[in-house]
Structure 1
Amino acid sequence: ALFIRSYERGERVHLAMVSRGYAGSMPVIDEVTASRAQWSYAMALPGAALVVCLLGWSL
Structure 2
Amino acid sequence: MPQGKISDKNTRISIVIPKDLKLEADKIANTDGRSLGGWIRKLISDAVSEYNKSDTPQ
Structure-1-length-normalised TM-score? 0.30
| Bigger RCO of structures 1 and 2 (CA < 8 A, at least 6 apart) | 2
Structure of larger gyration radius: 1
